[in-house]
Amino acid sequence: MENKKNIHPIQNTPQEPLTDEVVLKFLKVLESARAEEMSCSDLYIRLDEFVEREVNSKDAEKIMPLVQEHLDLCAGCCDEYEALLAVLENTKE
């Protein structure tokens, strides 16, 4: 039995490379979906760590972008964040 007609040479298959850009785009979509799902109580769990990072190493936004995103969107949590930040900065000195 000969199936030669059905066999295509591998060279003819166009290779679609998965570029960094594509991967990043995909990750961004995932991330924004998660940010929308993040509830205020989810944020509150992470807020202590976020504020501590912000005070100590100023990298909170990079390490926890979802928290930052929620704070940008949610006035109530933003107030909470600013209050906590003020307390920590006062106790630092």
Shortest Cβ distance from residue 35 to Zn ion (Å)?
11
Residues near Zn ion, by CB under 5 A:
40, 74, 77
Q: Which is nearer to Zn ion, 74 or 88 (CB)?
A: 74
Helix 65-73 vs helix 75-92: crossing angle, to nearest 10: 120
Q: Please, what is the end-to-end C-alpha distance for the chain in angstroms?
A: 84
Shortest Cβ distance from residue 75 to Zn ion (Å)?
8
Residue 77 to residue 49: CA distance in whole angstroms = 14
Shortest Cβ distance from residue 52 to Zn ion (Å)?
19
Ranked by CB distance to Zn ion, the top (closest) residue is 74
